[in-house]
Chain A
Amino acid sequence: EPEVTQTPSHQVTQMGQEVILRCVPISNHLYFYWYRQILGQKVEFLVSFYNNEISEKSEIFDDQFSVERPDGSNFTLKIRSTKLEDSAMYFCASSEAARTQYFGPGTRLTVL
Chain B
Amino acid sequence: RKEVEQDPGPFNVPEGATVAFNCTYSNSASQSFFWYRQDCRKEPKLLMSVYSSGNEDGRFTAQLNRASQYISLLIRDSKLSDSATYLCVVLQAGGSYIPTFGRGTSLIVHP
Contacts and interface: CB of A to CB of B under 8 A. Distances in A.
Interface of A: 31, 33, 41-45, 48, 50, 55-56, 58, 89, 91, 98-106
Contact of A31 (B32, B46, B96): B96
B41 A99 contact: no
Given A31-B96, A42-B104, A48-B98, A99 B44 contact: no
Given A98-B96, A99-B91, 13 more contacts: A31-B96, A41-B103, A42-B87, A45-B99, A45-B100, A50-B96, A55-B95, A56-B94, A56-B95, A58-B98, A98-B97, A101-B99, A102-B46
Contact of B49 (A31, A50, A98, A100): A100
Contacts of A101: 46, 99
A53 B91 CA distance: 20
Contacts of B103: 41-42
Contacts of B91: 99
B94 A43 contact: no
A6 to B, nearest CB: 9
The dominant DSSP class at the B interface is strand
Nearest to B99: A45
A15 to B, nearest CB: 23
B11 interface: no
22 contacts: A33-B99, A41-B103, A42-B103, A42-B104, A43-B38, A43-B44, A45-B101, A48-B96, A48-B98, A55-B95, A56-B95, A56-B96, A89-B41, A91-B43, A98-B96, A99-B49, A99-B91, A100-B46, A101-B99, A102-B46, A103-B43, A104-B43
A99 B50 CA distance: 12
Contacts of B94: 56
Nearest to B46: A100
A104 B44 CA distance: 9
Interface string B83-111: 00001000100111111111110000000
